[in-house]
Amino acid sequence: MTNIDLAISTCPNDTFAFHAILENEIDLRGLSFNTRLLDIQQLNDGLFAGQFDVAKASFHAAALLTDQTVVLPSGSALGFGVGPLLLAARSGSNPADDSAAGRIVLCPGKHTTATMLFRIFYKDAIQSGNVTIRQTLFSDIMPELEKRTADYGVCIHEGRFTWQDAGLACVEDLGTRWEDETGSPLPLGGILAKRALGSDLIARLQSVLRESVQWGLDHPEQTLPTMRKHAQEFSDEVLMQHVKLYVNDWTVELGEVGQKALKGLSEKAKACGIIPQHSSPIEIAQ
């Protein structure tokens, strides 16, 4: 039995994709998983600290860890219409306007893809000092905007479905902007494995993960208890909306389209100085 330190997020798309692994619904091929469920920034931080063998990470973090990790072909969140929303506490305002000087923008973690997108598309507003980014736990962003303790927030996950109920305004869908500018699906996050595990073990991990994703797609209703356990504030309808949005053919296998999207993200990040020019491309395990 080979022990694997695994870390994933509490988001429904991850608990859906990993349900069959967590509940031993499939053949684990001689692997035993020590699993932790964490916030995405905790996952990113843990990867930078070398704490996990395999973990979900933002593709922003993946772009900075290319010398240490590879992306597994299965388990990624990538698609059209899946991007973060830039929300405002008050309607009619935009962080790109000069009148936004001194405004606060809440972002869900320094190395999240959501923060990367905001830095790419609002580079001028950040450099001019019009806005200041404050890193905030993703689940606290909409409540902070509701309390008017910040001006803007980059919203991810279930907030895409509930921001109107919170009385907030949508400035822009950052994912739609990405799609319009690149023609590619937006790569949000994927499953990273340490290169040090070796190609044979990484291939075994990929095989297990791909089967787990497919099991979830074949038995969606049976994954609900696991999703509910870690997202108790959301209804089953919202949980399944989330799965339909973030789990798709590219979650089963990234393929050439996924590789192109990852390359485009790295190039834009390099152009904005977010990742070093000498960084290697994000590599998808074979």
Alpha helix segments (H runs only) across the chain: 12-22, 40-48, 59-64, 113-121, 123-127, 138-146, 159-162, 174-182, 199-218, 224-230, 236-246, 249-252, 255-271
Residue 152, H or E segment? strand 152-155
Cβ proximity of 275 and 64 under 8 Å: yes
**Is 157 designated active site?**
yes
With b for 16 or more beta-carbon neighbours within 10 A and e for fewer, the 156-169 pattern comes to bbbbbeebeeeebb
Token representation of residue 171: 């400035």
Task: Phi first, then psi: give them for residue 8, nearest 5 degrees.
Answer: -130, 170
Choosing from 19, 60, 111, 157, which is the catalytic residue?
157
Query: Which residues are catalytic, by number?
Result: 157
